[in-house]
Amino acid sequence: KKLYETVVKEYKTTQVFPPSRDLFKAYELCPYHKVKVVILGQDPYHNVGQAQGMSFSVPKGVPLPPSLQNIFKEIRDDLSILEPDCGDLSYWAKQGVLLLNTVLTVRAHQAFSHRGIGWEEFTDATIRAIEEKEDPVVYILWGAPAQKKRSMIRQKKRLVLTAPHPSPLSAYRGFFGSKPFSKCNAYLRKEGVEEIDWQLPSSSSSAM
């Protein structure tokens, strides 16, 4: 309740991202029963027009942030597919990829400004709920904050992939070459689960 009151007040009194209509978009596009993969981010993008309620994703037509550029480079090198030109990751979400940030809101231009208001407990509860599922789930944890959640992952049918964050500050320390996308699909295939098609539609496609 305190989290709810704080968030409502913040939306009323300051500029907060993502827009309130997109706050739970990750959950809307990838409902609980569909979750096969969890990509855990940190905070939403804090510049105008970027955050859309899914970790790392930006709306169609928005320039790709550096972290997302690096994710796309790793996809290209890992899977030998075309580097996407559009940063909207909805296509992944609809296939069962939960694009979850550990904190769901941020004040405009103030990175990490909503850490500690209660979102961490909310997203921990999400992970605990996923851990009730007996179906196979792959967790992709990039960066130290995401990797702190590893101790919560205890079910048998789990693959946990860790690497440095894709930000330009850390991508060269082991994010590049970590091949999370092919490892994820190999695991899903082994478990008899439909793989993720990581090739995003091009920006000229209507499939977004």
Active site residues: 43
Of 129, 135, 132, 153, nearest to 192 by C-alpha is: 135
Distance of CA 130 to the CA centre of its chain: 15
Residue with structure tokens 């007040």?
A: 9
Taking each helix axis from N to C end, the angle separating 119-130 and 2-13, rounded to the nearest 10 degrees, works out to 130
**Taking the mean position of all CA atoms in its chain, how far away is CA 182?**
17
CA torsion 162-104-107-142 (nearest 10°) is 0
C-alpha 64/C-alpha 155 separation (Å) is: 35
